[in-house]
Amino acid sequence: MEEIRALEKSEAEDFVRIVGMAYPRLEIQAPEAKEKWLQRIREAIEHDATSSFQGCFRDGKLVGVMKWRDFMTNVHGKRLLTGGIGTVAVDLLHKKEKVAKSMMTRFLHAYRERGVSLVSLYPFRVDFYRQMGFGAGTKMNEYRVHPLSLPRGNKRDVVALTSEDRQGILDCYNRYAARTHGMTEKTERELQLMLDRPDSHFFGFRRDGLLSGYLMLEFQQVSKDNASIHDIHVRDLVYETREALSALLAFLRSQADQVRRIAFYTQEEDFHVLLTDPRNDSDRLIPFYYHESHATGVGLMYRIIDVGAYFRQLAGQKIGQGSCTLTFHVRDSFLPENEGAYTVRFCDGVPELIEHPGSSVEADAAVTMDISDFSSLAMGSVRFRSLYTYGLADLSHDGHLDLIDRLFDIAQKPRCTAAF
């Protein structure tokens, strides 16, 4: 007998036990760390309406756990309810018993039943979740730059922020999210958890009483033998204006006397142009003569769990450029009810789902692909031309390749800094 349900406060300790064994790097089995986790989970179960801790029980025994999150996400300019799943962990004694598959199936069905069309996760292995229909999102880049490589500027309006500024920080972030595809809205509880981190420091750009940019940073000692030299890690950087960005970068530049390198984590593809010397600290040359500027990684993955609902929810919202009618043949073996043919009419980049295509509706072309690649395409994480070239998408009429590529050619790939 299997049951998947929300956990109660009294079951939080079992949740932590399973997660601690599944992810030893979290080091949550130490008494002090474990108690902090337990306190945070119990509080979330009781007070956080946006999250849900779920457990998979077999014959009454907890064998797997996961955390569900509700997000309000900017999807091509539309504010949509989306789902997130994290902390998927299976008891070590029950690995290879398809516990994770069972939990993922329940998650997808539960959110689809709620009318949600899009979900996301951070994978512990990309191939594992790709088989479940998740497609790659935008890559994250890590730059490690010398402070003096940042542009000069005026830091006069940069101020230190405290928990008393939390409303201003929250408003600044959510204004940015409201105009940035892929960003999720931040809740007061999320922000407070960030502010409560003892090693984190907030600085903001405030002019005429309005906070229009901020950053969160941490210092990391470079060597145990020299306590005066540190690296700065910029964990969060949000700016609404070029003036705010310039001032915050000038503030970071001014730390050069005691800071060796500044680490930025960004999804901005052109960030290297900002730097006078974009080289990182690897001193590595890529053949023939390309200086290594940053490391990059694949992380957040998207999955459309209801293709029809996705296009209905985006009705009237411009995605790309061009006009035509397409039939998408979507393969989805993990969620069979999502598999099928979907005819969509695009008018100047605005999609309209043809709910009941009849003889009078004839598609200009048909596209066939897996749900994982379709999810990446629909979110703008990948170009259609790339999918076609790599053999990941089939097209009935090659002459429509350029047109379809423009339909999903968005100005900016989706960005997301939410951790869950």
Please write the tens of the pLDDT for every residue from 119-173. Answer: 999 999 999 999 999 999 999 999 999 999 999 999 999 999 999 999 999 999 9
Q: Is residue 123 part of a domain?
A: no
Per-residue pLDDT tens for 403-416? Answer: 999 999 998 999 99
Same domain, 265 and 194: yes
Q: Is residue 125 part of a domain?
A: no
Q: Which domain CATH number covers 319?
A: 3.30.1050.10
Q: Is residue 412 part of a domain?
A: no
Same domain, 292 and 369: no
Read off φ and ψ for residue 302, nearest 5 degrees. -110, 155
Same domain, 41 and 73: yes
Closest CA to 371 of 326, 313, 310: 310
Residue 207 binned pLDDT confidence (cut-offs 50, 70, 90): very high
Per-residue pLDDT tens for 80-120? Answer: 999 999 999 999 999 999 999 999 999 999 999 999 999 99
Same domain, 321 and 398: yes
- As given in the structure block, the two tokens for residue 95 are 């690995």
Write down how long the chain is: 420
- Asked if the model's pLDDT at residue 72 lies above 70, the reply is yes
Last residue of a domain, one of 257, 274, 297: 297
- Predicted confidence at residue 360, as pLDDT, reads 65
Read off φ and ψ for residue 383, nearest 5 degrees. -80, 145
Per-residue pLDDT tens for 215-250? Answer: 999 999 988 888 888 999 999 999 999 999 999 999
Q: Is residue 133 part of a domain?
A: no
Residue identified by tokens 């999150």 is: 69
Q: Is residue 415 part of a domain?
A: no
Same domain, 166 and 280: yes
Same domain, 267 and 322: no
Whether the ω angle into residue 288 lies within 30 degrees of 0, i.e. cis, is yes
Cα 203 to Cα 4, 206, 238, 320, 343, distances in angstroms: 43, 10, 11, 36, 49
Residue identified by tokens 């004839």 is: 362
Q: What is the mean pLDDT of residues 29-50?
A: 90
Same domain, 257 and 156: yes
Q: Is residue 130 part of a domain?
A: no
Same domain, 376 and 249: no
Residue 244 domain boundaries: 141-297
Q: Which domain CATH number covers 240?
A: 3.40.630.30
Q: How many structural domains are present in the chain?
A: 3
Strands 210-223 and 226-239: antiparallel
Cα 103 to Cα 25, 67, 335, distances in angstroms: 23, 10, 13
- Predicted confidence at residue 359, as pLDDT, reads 55
Give the rounded percent of residues in the chain with a pLDDT score beyond 70: 99
Q: What is the mean pLDDT of residues 267-280?
A: 96
- As given in the structure block, the two tokens for residue 92 are 């070590």
- Predicted confidence at residue 31, as pLDDT, reads 83
Same domain, 293 and 308: no
Other CB atoms closer than 10 Å to residue 81's CB: what's the count?
Answer: 15
Per-residue pLDDT tens for 190-202? Answer: 999 899 988 999 9
Residue 28 binned pLDDT confidence (cut-offs 50, 70, 90): confident
Same domain, 286 and 313: no
Q: Is residue 413 part of a domain?
A: no
Q: Is residue 332 part of a domain?
A: yes
DSSP type of residue 9? G
Same domain, 61 and 23: yes
Per-residue pLDDT tens for 369-396? Answer: 999 999 999 999 999 999 999 999 999 9
Same domain, 75 and 220: no
Q: What is the mean pLDDT of residues 293-307?
A: 97
Residue bearing the bigger pLDDT, 25 or 184: 184
- Predicted confidence at residue 357, as pLDDT, reads 60
- Asked if the model's pLDDT at residue 177 lies above 80, the reply is yes
- Predicted confidence at residue 226, as pLDDT, reads 85
Per-residue pLDDT tens for 307-363? Answer: 999 999 999 999 999 999 999 999 999 999 999 999 999 999 999 999 876 556 789
